[in-house]
Structure 1
Amino acid sequence: MTTIAELKRMRVDQVGSFLRPEDLKAAFLRHARGQLPMEGLVAAQDEAITGLIATEEAHGLPFVSDGEYRRLNWQVSFSDVSGWDLWSGSWAQFLTSPDNLGAGEQHNSKGADAVLSFRTPATARLKLETSFPAGELAFIRKTTKTPAKITLMGPDRVCQMCDIDGSKPFYADADMFLADVVAIQKAMVAGLIEGGAAYVQIDEPSFTGYVDPPTLERMAARGEDPLRNLKRAIAADNAVIAGLAGKAVFGLHICRGNRASMWHREGKYDGIAEAVFGGLAYDRLLLEYDTERAGGFEPLRFVPKGTMVVLGLITTKSGEVETVDQLRRRLDEASRSIDLDQVALSPQCGFASGIGGNALSESQQWRKIDVMMETARRVWG
C-alpha cells in the first residue's frame, strides 16, 4: 500500500481535469435543456469516470482523479455553499457560450478576465450545505483502491470572485468574507481526509494576479494594497490545511488561466517567489512552466528543502506532444536553480478546466501523459 510519505515524493503529477468524452458532454447538454433528469446525468458521469479511472491506472499514474467529470468547470468545488450564489445563471451561460462545449475557433491567446466575469455579491453569511468534492471522492473510493486526488478552488480565488462592496449587509470587508471561506474549506478538507482522500490539491490561479499588470492596476483602482492581499492569501491557504499535516498529501497549483486553450494572466514568478514559495506550508507546489510567460527557473531557489516542486513543463493548451529529450533538457535547466531530488513533472494545468476542454484530442492528451511517465522513469528511475 502506498504511504503518504511516498505519495508526497511522486515524480509525476496531473493537475486534475481530463478531456470529457463527447457522450458525457452531450449528457450535460441534454440535462441543461431539460431533456435528461439528474439521475441520467449522474449515470453518464459514473460510467465516464469508471472508464477514466481504468485508463489512468493503465497509464501508470500513482493516483487517480475523476477528471472533474462532474463539474461544468473547476470552480464547482465551492458551489454547494449558501449565501453566495456563484452559479446564478451558470447553466444558462453553459448553453450559450461556445467555449463550453469546445465549439468555435480556439486560440492560444489572452482570454477575458474570468474573475471579473463571475464577480457576485454575497446574499447572506456563507454556510456549507454539502461538500461537492466529498461526493466526487466517495465514488472514486467505491471504484478503485488506487490513491485518490481531489481538487478545490483556493480561498483567495473565491475571495477575488466576490463583489465585496455589494456584500456590505453581511460582510464589512474582504477579510471577514475570506475568514468564512477558510472555515468552510477547512471543513471540506477535513471531510475529504476522513473520507479517504490521499491527495488534496488547492487551485490558486489568484497568485499570478499579483504579478499581472492589469490585475494589479484594478487592485490599485479599488484602493487595495496588493502586498497586503498577497500576505492574506498565503495565510488563508495555510489556514485551510492547518493541523492536518501528514494526514494526506497537500498540493497547491498556480497557473495563469486555462479556459478553452486561452490564458488570462501573465507575469513571472520572480515578484512573488520569496513570499509564496517560501511561505506556503504545502507538500507540493505545482507550477506552470510551459511558456515564456512564466519566466525562468531562478525563483525556485526560494522553495524550502522538503517541499516538492512539480514543474508543469507539458502544455495542455495544444496537441503538440513534447518529447522525452525536450523535457530532460528543461529539467537540466531547472537543476541549476533547485536540486532535482526536489522536483517532479506534470502538465502545466488540467486538460479541461471547463467542460469544453482545450484544443487537443484525447489521443494527444494520453500521449502527453505517457511522455511524462517515460521522462520520469529515465530521470529518476
Structure 2
Amino acid sequence: MMEADAVGGTLWRADVVGSLLRPEELLRARERHARDELPTPEFKTVEDRAVESVIRMQERVGLDVVTDGELRRESFQSQMVEATEGFGESTLDAYLWGDWRGEGEVGDRRTERPAGMGVTGKLRRRRFLSVEEFVFARGATDRTVKVTLPSPSLYANFWDPERSREAYPTLDGFLEDVAELLREEVRELVRLGATYLQLDAPHYPLLLDGRTRRFYEERGWSLDRWLSRGIELDNHVIGGRGPGSDVTFAFHLCRGNQGSRWLVAGSYEPLAERIFGSVAAERLMLEYDDERSGDFSPLTHVPPDKVAVLGLVTTKSGRVETEEDLTRRIREASAHVPLERLAISPQCGFATSVIGNALSPEDQERKLETLVRTARAVWGDG
C-alpha cells in the first residue's frame, strides 16, 4: 500500500483524513478539566493514553499513515483560536453553526452564527497549534504521522466588519496574518521531522450552495476571489513544499461533517478546475461516500502531478462497506484518473469535534480494516 510515487514523494494507497472518535474516558476527563476538577498533569496523562490507543488501532489495521486522531482538539479548527491571542472568547458553538442536515443527527441543529464571536485584536501566537500533537505521536509509532492544519480562509467567519474593524479593517489583512501563522507552523513541524501535512478546507465546497455562498460573499470576497485569493493563501502556507519536495501535502475538501450531519450537496465540477489545478498540494482528499458528492467526472481536472484520494468510506454511520463495492467504485473513478494516481480514504474524519459521529469504535476500526484490505486487493502490498 506504500510505494515510491512517480508523481512525487511517497504514495500511500490507504489514507486517513484526521480525526478519530474520542474515547469516553477522554471526554469525561475533558469535562472535569474544564470544571477545574482534574489537574492539568492528570488530564494530559489521559490524553496521552488515548492518543497511544488510537495509534495502536491504526497500526493494527495495517495503515502506513496514522494521525493522533485530533484527540487533543475541541474541533478540527479550534487549535488556531486556542493558540492565538486576538480571537476573543469562543465556545464550541463557533464551529457548529450552519444549516446541518441528515438523518440520525447527533447534537443540536444549529442555523445561526453565534453572536459576539470573532477576531477583535491583532493576532499574536501563544503557542504552536500542533507541535505537541506531532512530537508525541512521532515518538509513539514508526509509521508516517500526518498532521492536519486548517486552511487560512476557513477563518473568514471569525472576521466581522464591525467587531474586527479596529484590529483588521479588511478581511484580506486578517487572513494574511492567519496564513503567516500557519506558514510558521509548517516550518516548525518540518524542522521537527514532519513529512506529511494536510490542509483542511471544507469551506470551498460550501460555496456550491447559494445560501452559504452568500454568507461568504458578505465577508467581501466574490466567488472568483475565493477561488483565487483563498488558494493563494493556502499556497503561502504550503510555502513551495509541493510536488518534488521531501514533504507531502494533502488538501481535504468535504461538504460538512458534524454529528453525522452535512451542510451542502453537489458535484465538485464548478470548483474542480480552479482548485485542483491551483493548490500546491500533491494529494487531493475528496469526499465520495454517497450521491451527495456527484459522480467522478470532475476528476478529469486532477493534474498529472497530483493524486486523487477517494473518500469512499463513510464516517457518518456504521454502514458496512465491502471490498467488492469499494473496488468497483475505484474502477469507475479510474475512467477519469489513471489507477496509479488514485488512493482511498474515509470521506472525512470520524469526529471533527468532541461531538463525534453516530458510530462505534468497533465500526470505526472495521471500516479502516476494510479500507486497507481494499487497497491491498487493488494495488498490491507495495
TM-score above 0.5, yes or no? yes
- Which among 66, 72, 76 is matched to residue 74 of structure 2? 72
1:49 alignment counterpart: 51
Q: 1 CA distance for matches of 2:120 and 2:250?
A: 31
Q: 1 CA distance for matches of 2:210 and 2:187?
A: 36
- 1:18-57 equivalences in 2 (<5 Å): 18-57=20-59
Per-residue deviation, residues 232-276 of structure 1 (Å, max 9, x unmatched): 111111111123341311001011111110111222211111101
Consecutive unaligned residues in structure 1, runs of 5 or more? 98-104
Q: 2 CA distance for matches of 1:163 and 1:119?
A: 10
2:371 alignment counterpart: 372
- 1:101-140 equivalences in 2 (<5 Å): 106-107=104-105, 111-112=109-110, 116-117=113-114, 120-140=117-137
Q: 2 CA distance for matches of 1:253 and 1:54?
A: 24
1:102 alignment counterpart: none
- Which among 61, 64, 80 is matched to residue 63 of structure 2? 61
Q: Is the 8 A contact 2:201 2:252 kept in 1?
A: yes
- Runs of 4 or more above 6 Å deviation: none
Q: 2 CA distance for matches of 1:210 and 1:344?
A: 26
2:223 alignment counterpart: 226
1:183 alignment counterpart: 180
The letter for the 2-side match of 1:70 is: R
Judge which range, 117-126 or 266-275, deviates more. Answer: 117-126
The structure carrying a bigger helix percent of its residues is 1
Q: 1:16 to 1:89 in 2, by over 3 A?
A: same
Q: TM-score, normalised by structure 1?
A: 0.90
2:85 alignment counterpart: 82
Matching of residue 306 in structure 1 with residue 309 in structure 2: no
Q: 2 CA distance for matches of 1:348 and 1:113?
A: 24
The letter for the 2-side match of 1:12 is: A
Per-residue deviation, residues 88-147 of structure 1 (Å, max 9, x unmatched): 2527x69xx9xxxxxxx9428995358x34883322211222112001111112222322
Deviation at 1:286, TM superposition (A): 0.1
Judge which range, 212-221 or 17-26, deviates more. Answer: 212-221
The letter for the 1-side match of 2:85 is: S
Judge which range, 34-43 or 282-291, deviates more. Answer: 34-43
- 3-state SS, counterpart of residue 57 of structure 1: helix
Q: 1:7 to 1:138 in 2, by over 3 A?
A: same
Matching of residue 157 in structure 1 with residue 154 in structure 2: yes
Q: 2 CA distance for matches of 1:266 and 1:160?
A: 20
Matching of residue 292 in structure 1 with residue 291 in structure 2: yes
Deviation at 1:220, TM superposition (A): 4.8
Q: 1 CA distance for matches of 2:116 and 2:230?
A: 18
- 3-state SS, counterpart of residue 186 of structure 2: helix
Judge which range, 137-146 or 186-195, deviates more. Answer: 137-146
1:101 alignment counterpart: none
- 3-state SS, counterpart of residue 344 of structure 2: strand
Q: 1:55 to 1:109 in 2, by over 3 A?
A: closer
Matching of residue 276 in structure 1 with residue 271 in structure 2: no
Q: 1:132 to 1:219 in 2, by over 3 A?
A: closer
Q: 1 CA distance for matches of 2:107 and 2:339?
A: 32
1:348 alignment counterpart: 347
Q: 2 CA distance for matches of 1:261 and 1:118?
A: 25
Q: What is the identity percentage for the equivalent residue pairs of Structure 1 and Structure 2?
A: 38
Q: 1:161 to 1:205 in 2, by over 3 A?
A: farther
Q: 2 CA distance for matches of 1:129 and 1:363?
A: 37
The letter for the 2-side match of 1:304 is: P
- 3-state SS, counterpart of residue 148 of structure 1: strand
- 3-state SS, counterpart of residue 143 of structure 1: coil
Aligned residues: 367
Q: 1:118 to 1:284 in 2, by over 3 A?
A: farther
Matching of residue 318 in structure 1 with residue 320 in structure 2: no
2:250 alignment counterpart: 251
1:100 alignment counterpart: none
Q: 1:46 to 1:305 in 2, by over 3 A?
A: same
Deviation at 1:223, TM superposition (A): 5.7
Q: Is the 8 A contact 2:288 2:312 kept in 1?
A: yes
- 3-state SS, counterpart of residue 130 of structure 2: helix
Per-residue deviation, residues 55-113 of structure 1 (Å, max 9, x unmatched): 2112111122111111111112312011123xx2527x69xx9xxxxxxx942899535
Q: 2 CA distance for matches of 1:53 and 1:168?
A: 43
Q: 1:222 to 1:351 in 2, by over 3 A?
A: closer
Q: TM-score, normalised by structure 2?
A: 0.90
The letter for the 2-side match of 1:227 is: D
Per-residue deviation, residues 178-229 of structure 1 (Å, max 9, x unmatched): 1111111000011111111121111000111221121123345566412112
- 3-state SS, counterpart of residue 74 of structure 1: coil
Q: Is the 8 A contact 1:312 1:346 kept in 2?
A: yes
Per-residue deviation, residues 156-175 of structure 1 (Å, max 9, x unmatched): 10223322432111112111
